Structure 1
């Protein structure tokens, strides 16, 4: 299949026969009954889904909002060495802010890390307890809509603090925490909507209902179009990121003040985050407008409660640990490198604000570089995989190894004043490096998980994977925040992040993929008997 066919294939064009000559138009009544439980996807629903991710690209959450919080905290804080106000013109000088601790204050960098930890820990509790709601009824739509409204609001309302002298930095902190939680919620429930939408594309529904396709053949079609929708939606997220950085970069060069530019003025952060929020609102509307009213999951199983079904799923997954040791080894390694990547993003955001004196223009330009290189990085590793037949494990090791260069680089900043993310040119290089080698992590870690997960248990283990992601995301910021608080130097946290990468790499090295597949075969054989009937026998009832 050509690149053009891959990206622009039409799931709404039906064919009478498949590539093997099977008649696709003849329906099996039993299969059709199952398929027709959901309404077919429309072009407007699919494009609405793509556009939603175009707006929900996470740009402001990791750039402008933290910039604003740091800026206001610096205006309110004090220099612990002199007792006077913080030097807003030199953000690399010490600056503490009020905090419920033994000393009564912590460095601004520590406060930023603790804020991230608070938001991630709240997300962990919410998703563990209520993440399963996405699978039932219309809860996915209601929660996604509510979270989207809250997230967009938190991106727009900071503009009200544009002239604040720092006295309301606590208000901005609350806005940021709510923004992070609602943003994380949108990602979880947006992702949960994807399988149902993909499975109800016309070509997929035709294959699922066909009387002449076996279960395996129809599942091949399902998998193909799931991959297609996933790839295109991710591409649209990067396109939205690229559009915003390109649009916002231009006005940043408008002359502003005495011999300055708008992009270097604090007001630019407030303008940009409001634009990002508005961009998300515009892109989110079509999805909620054109989603069919009948698009919903099944009712909650008898005897189950919305309050407990999430925790039951976790305990069910953990009970399988001894039978699937390589899978759980990988989940443990993911726990560490996911935590490391999250901490890198937070630390780079803090360091960028300090090195550039909270210049929103610089953050925008760095984001533009990362947006472009992220696309290039994913394409590069996909090309390597297809051209040279590199395994998923090898690709993941390469990507994690190259990403670990970032904390290694940062370690030099502990003792050096002009190297180790202490200069603007290094931040330019980091933006490009992160796009090329960090962005592909999320694609290949999911592929690795898919290779190690038993068939029929995907939802169970991918759900556990998502919970591990949120559980790990607060540990690194807490540890680095404590290190930063005790040393008044955020660069002292880099060795800890580097250690996480090294430990994760060692664990992945010891994962024997061939042995793991043998484990899967034995495990699947053990569960493929239901009430004395083999799964094959049960499928024959559906595929006569």
Structure 2
């Protein structure tokens, strides 16, 4: 058995022999190992460039400083109604009043606007990625689309600096920039993930096993799986490292002395307490992404790309056909289909929860950059602790994946219960700074692990050889569900002028998901999978076709859920 050092630090470029005889096996044997098209071997530069890219593309500012800037500009440009129903500027708004902005010929609360813009961005992502996502898997488009998304994403983080001295009259310009930033960031995650199997499966050690006639297909699958897991784990680690670097640097910078602002009495004269810090921070995040992205585009080998589009297919329809196909297959597996429904519900609940906290924290902290940065630093550290803690608990007490996932979701559902208390009280119910501290610790320890265990649960319910189909479906489900919660909460806030009125809806989503997952029988699900594979195998034999194989492209993609995990 490999040691943890060999697993994490093994060298995929250290292979015995310099030459690989690609003619040593027949075409049928190579096809069984996934050699369906020629690819250049991965290089150290490409691998490290891939890791560094995720280091920079950590999504921090998308869920912290940019919403802070948009919300603060909207408050400066917005208005509230006094007792005489006269519109007054929100700058001197009394406690308990609601700030509004113009919207579609009328007006809506700022909180509703922030939720609606996120819903719009997610719905656009769903349509775009379902329609054009195949460009990442077929042909040579992936690199160029990823490059374009990176340029647009970095630019959208830097451009807000033009509004640093704005009086709020151009808040809608920042709203548009926020929408572009969310879409480009989502695109970067999708097409970054699409590059993963081609890189991992062409590491020299994997190619050596593929072309070695003495290595069976089963042994080759084990080698390929080991290095796919290795690349996925390390790239995800780099993303978290990048998140820690950014929060640590900006936390330190926020305490720098600053006198170029008229601070209120009793407020320390430091950079983090001045509005400009949010603008400086998002520019820093954009620059950090650029620096870390450059090596990948310089070092990816020429010729890296996917297979040709299947005959009779086109990029505009193949994504939608795959969704229909995967749903048809899922209906044959009742417990997998139940889990798809549960995932649709609880992923929307978690995303909506994070969106609401993002708005609430801006109101509580008055958009203070220092507090937001330090809170996220605490969340990053606690996220690592939480994932490791649940992993240790599961192994030590031999807890099954389903039980662990249920525990995590139940603990996450405590947050909307907590928030619901705040409907009728301003003393408790996520209304205070100390409650934000509790939330960020709670979020890191108990909410962040949800994305790791939901994937493990899916892996237990997916038939072997269908991983790519169903993991792709779950990516679509996540995007498809992400807009529903923000729209509903935005409408509730618009109707009641109270964001906290939305917490019971979020709680309801969690409760429904918990009930569905509770009734999933994993043991019976595995028996269903066995019968499903046997049936498919028999059908293939009757039709004179080869049995379904687990090709190198039917792989688990790296999880990129930072936009859901960090608020």
TM-score range, shorter chain: over 0.9
Where does 1:451-470 land on structure 2 (aligned, <5 Å)?
451-470=460-479
Say whether residues 1:124 and 2:126 are aligned partners. yes
Q: Kindly state the Cα deviation for residue 455 of structure 1 after the two structures are TM-superposed.
A: 1.9
Partner of 2:38: 37
* Local SS of the residue matching 1:14: coil
Greater mean alpha carbon deviation, residues 336-345 or residues 212-221: 212-221
Q: Counterparts in 2 of 1:92-103, with a 5 A limit?
A: 93-100=97-104
Counterpart residue number, 2:82: 81
SS of the equivalent of 2:429 reads coil
Confirm whether residue 182 of structure 1 aligns to residue 208 of structure 2.
Answer: no
> Quick one: distance in 2 between partners of 1:206 and 1:176?
46
1:447 equivalent to 2:456? Answer: yes
The question of whether the paired residues in 2 share the 8 Å contact of 1:35 and 1:209 is answered with no
Residue 209 of structure 2 aligns with which residue?
Answer: 207
Provide the rounded CA distance (Å) in 2 between the counterparts of 1:400 and 1:497.
12
Query: Residue 226 of structure 2 corresponds to which residue in structure 1?
Result: 224
Offset, 1:387: 2.8
Provide, for residues 263-310 of structure 1, a one-character-per-residue CA deviation record: whole Å limited to 9, x for no partner: 111110000000000000000011111111111001111111111111
Equivalence for 2:434: 425
CA contact (8 A) 2:37 2:307 kept: no
TM-score norm. by structure 2 comes to 0.90
Matching of residue 354 in structure 1 with residue 363 in structure 2: yes
Q: Which residue of 1 aligns with 2:156?
A: 154
CA distance in 2, matches of 1:538, 1:420: 52
Aligned partners of 1:60 and 1:273 also within 8 Å: yes
For residue 340 of structure 1, report the CA deviation from its aligned partner.
Answer: 0.6
8 Å contact kept, 2:200–2:227: yes
Aligned residues: 531
2:58 aligned partner: 57
Shift of 1:487: 1.0
**Cα distance change, pair 289–501 in 1 and its aligned pair in 2 (3 A):** same
> Using a 3 Å threshold, how does the CA distance of structure 1 residues 26 and 13 change in structure 2: closer, same or farther?
farther
Q: How does 1:368-387 map to 2 (within 5 A)?
A: 368-387=377-396
Give the direction of change, closer, same or farther, for the CA distance of 1:376–1:537 in structure 2 (3 Å limit).
Answer: closer
Contact 1:41–1:200 (Cα < 8 Å) also in 2: yes
Query: Matches of 1:322 and 1:2 in 2, distance apart?
Result: 40
Distance 2:120 2:146 in 1: 21
Match of 2:555 in 1: none
Does the 8 A contact of 2:157 with 2:282 survive in 1?
yes
Q: What corresponds to 2:8 in structure 1?
A: 7
**Superposed displacement of residue 384, structure 1:** 2.3
Matched, 1:393 2:402: yes
2:540 pairs, out of 513, 523, 530, with: 530
The alpha-carbon deviation at position 463 of structure 1 amounts to 1.5
User: Could you tell which deviates more after superposition, 500-509 or 79-88?
Assistant: 79-88
TM-score normalised by the chain length of structure 1: 0.94
* Structure 1: runs of 5 or more not aligned: 17-23, 540-544
Aligned to 2:350: 341
- In the aligned structure 2, how far is the partner of 1:184 from the partner of 1:479? 22
User: Where does residue 247 of structure 1 map in the other structure?
Assistant: 249
Q: What is residue 287 of structure 2 aligned with on the other side?
A: 278
CA shift, 1:523, in A, is 1.1
Match of 2:564 in 1: none
Matched, 1:113 2:115: yes
Cα displacement (A) at 1:35: 7.4
CA–CA distance in 2 between the matches of 1:334 and 1:36?
35
C-alpha spacing 1:96/1:206, structure 2 compared with 1 (3 Å): same
1:15 and 1:330 mapped to 2: Cα distance? 44
Q: Secondary structure at the match of 1:417?
A: coil
Unmatched 5+ residue regions in structure 2? Answer: 551-567
**Contact (CA 8 Å) 1:134, 1:193: kept in 2 or not?**
yes
Matches of 1:194 and 1:121, distance apart in 2: 25
Cα pair 1:66 1:176 within 8 Å, conserved: yes
Report if aligned partners of 1:75, 1:165 keep a CA contact under 8 Å in 2.
Answer: yes
SS in 2 for 1:166: coil
Q: Deviations over 1:194-214 (max 9, x none)?
A: 111111111111222221222
Return closer, same or farther for 1:91/1:40 CA change in 2, 3 Å cut-off: farther
- Counterpart-to-counterpart distance in 2, 1:151 and 1:138: 21
Shift of the alpha carbon at 1:25? Answer: 11
Query: Could you tell me which residue of structure 2 aligns to residue 133 of structure 1?
Result: 135
8 Å Cα contact 2:541/2:547 also seen in 1 = no
SS in 1 for 2:108: strand
1:404 matched residue in structure 2: 413
Q: Kindly indicate whether the alpha-carbon contact (under 8 Å) linking 1:25 and 1:206 is maintained by their aligned counterparts in 2.
A: no
1:196 maps onto 2:198 in alignment: yes
1:49/1:233 contact within 8 Å kept: yes
The range that moved more, 175-184 or 190-199, is 190-199
Could you tell me which residue of structure 2 aligns to residue 542 of structure 1? none
The separation in 1 between residues aligned to 2:92 and 2:13, in whole angstroms, is: 56
Q: 1:283 to 1:88 in 2, by over 3 A?
A: farther
What's the offset of the Cα at 1:512?
0.6
Contact 2:412 2:447 (C-alpha < 8 Å) held by counterparts: yes
Q: Please give the alpha-carbon distance, in whole angstroms, between the structure 2 residues aligned to 1:225 and 1:437.
A: 29
SS in 2 for 1:106: strand
- Are residues 286 and 233 of structure 1, via their aligned partners in 2, closer, same or farther at CA, if it must alter by over 3 Å? same
Match of 1:19 in 2: none
CA contact 1:252–1:261 (8 Å) conserved in 2: yes
**Secondary structure of the structure 1 residue equivalent to 2:101:** strand
Distance in 2 between residues matched to 1:176 and 1:469, nearest whole Å: 20
Q: Which residue of 2 aligns with 1:28?
A: 25
Alignment RMSD, CA only? 2.1
Which residue of 526, 529, 543 corresponds with 1:520? Answer: 529
* Residues 453-504 of structure 1: CA deviation (Å, up to 9, x unaligned): 1222222211211111001000000000111111111111111111111110
2:554: which partner in 1? none
Structure-2 residue corresponding to 1:500 = 509
Distance 1:92 1:185, change over 3 A: farther
